[in-house]
Amino acid sequence: MIYERIKAEADQKGLTISELEKQSGLGNGVIGGWRTASPNARKLEAVADTLGVSVDYLLKGKKEH
């Protein structure tokens, strides 16, 4: 679920996963690995910041009002 939310947000912002990884300071393939493994908090926070969403949204799918 986390990967799907990240992918959807990246798509809405016109970013590929690879571009998102670069902008978030992550290595190539890190986000793709989250399809089967849980991300660490620091990396997930970097992605959330880059996308302009909360970590809570990426984890639970609930947007802040």
DSSP structure string for 2-64: HHHHHHHHHHHTT--HHHHHHHTT--TTTTGGGGTSPPPHHHHHHHHHHHT--HHHHHH----
pTM over 0.85: yes
Each residue's pLDDT tens digit in the chain (65 positions)?
A: 899 999 999 999 999 999 999 999 999 999 999 999 999 999 999 999 999 999 999 999 877 65
What are the residues whose beta carbons fall under 8 Å from the beta carbon of 30, sequence distance 6 or more? 21, 39, 43
Domain boundaries, the chain: 2-58
Burial grade of 27 (CB within 10 A; 0-12, 13-18, 19 or more): exposed
- Fold exhibited by the domain 2-58: 434 Repressor (Amino-terminal Domain) (1.10.260)
pLDDT on residue 62? 77
**pLDDT value, residue 64:** 63
